[in-house]
């Protein structure tokens, strides 16, 4: 699997006209893959607000599923892939988690709900998953809003 992912990305990056320094592939416990590409053209590959990296990730997934003959397979049987460029997404994830934790502190201090700004589904999921840890059992999260304006509200958990 790792070799197939590597080859697909190498071909895509070359066709984009970008140079490739290194591809690091991590297999997670849930059988998903996190791929970080180190390049001398990170801005081009990331794009405005991450649009290019999102498109590149989607394209890579489709090519991978095609190569493994999984296009018509159930979603649970398709390998999940998260693409990162020079740790751009990892830094974003850390910033979102730090923001959420600051809001948790405010929820605890003020005992009132706090909202996070609107964010992409990927980052909302990261926040929801992070705040399910045991140290956050006194709060709950809920997504509200529609489309691109969807956001998370962090609330104190009612203890009975």
pLDDT tens for residues 99-158? Answer: 999 999 999 999 999 999 999 998 999 999 999 999 999 999 999 999 989 999 999 987
Q: What's this model's pTM, rounded to 2 decimal places?
A: 0.82
Domain range 2-86, CATH class: alpha beta
Q: How many CB atoms are closer than 10 A to CB 61?
A: 19
Q: What is the pLDDT of residue 69?
A: 86
Q: Do residues 5 and 81 lie in contact, with contact meaning Cβ atoms separated by under 8 Å?
A: yes
Show the tokens assigned to 141.
């999260």
Closest CA to 24 of 14, 11, 10, 38: 38
Q: What is the pLDDT of residue 43?
A: 93
Q: What is the pLDDT of residue 158?
A: 73
CATH of 92-156, one of 3.30.430.20, 3.30.1370.50, 3.40.50.300, 1.20.140.10: 3.30.1370.50
Q: What is the pLDDT of residue 78?
A: 87
Show the tokens assigned to 21.
């320094």
Whether the predicted pLDDT of 93 surpasses 90: yes
- Per DSSP bridges, beta strands 33-39 and 81-85 are parallel
How is the chain split into domains, by residue range? 2-86, 92-156
Strands, E, within the chain: which ranges?
20-27, 33-39, 81-85, 114-115, 139-144, 151-156
pLDDT tens for residues 63-84? Answer: 999 998 888 888 878 889 999 9
Q: What is the pLDDT of residue 160?
A: 56
Helix/strand/coil for 113: coil
pLDDT tens for residues 27-63? Answer: 988 889 999 999 998 999 999 988 999 999 999 999 9
Q: What is the pLDDT of residue 159?
A: 60
3-state helix, strand, coil split of the chain in percent (to 5) is 50, 20, 30
CA-based R_g, the chain, Å: 18
């Amino acid at each position: 699997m790792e070799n197939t992912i590597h080859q697909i990305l190498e071909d895509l990056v070359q066709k984009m006209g970008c140079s490739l320094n290194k591809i690091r592939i991590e297999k997670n416990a849930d059988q998903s893959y996190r791929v970080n590409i180190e390049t001398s053209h990170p801005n081009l590959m990331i794009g405005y607000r991450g649009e290019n990296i999102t498109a590149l990730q989607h394209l890579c997934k489709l090519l991978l599923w095609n190569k493994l003959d999984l296009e018509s397979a159930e979603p649970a049987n398709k390998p999940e892939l998260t693409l990162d460029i020079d740790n751009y997404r990892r830094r974003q994830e850390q910033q979102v988690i730090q923001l959420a934790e600051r809001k948790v502190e405010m929820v605890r201090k003020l005992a009132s709900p706090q909202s996070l700004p609107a964010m992409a589904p990927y980052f909302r999921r990261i926040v929801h998953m992070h705040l399910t840890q045991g140290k956050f059992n006194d709060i709950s999260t809920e997504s509200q809003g529609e489309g691109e304006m969807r956001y998370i509200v962090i609330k104190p958990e009612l203890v009975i």
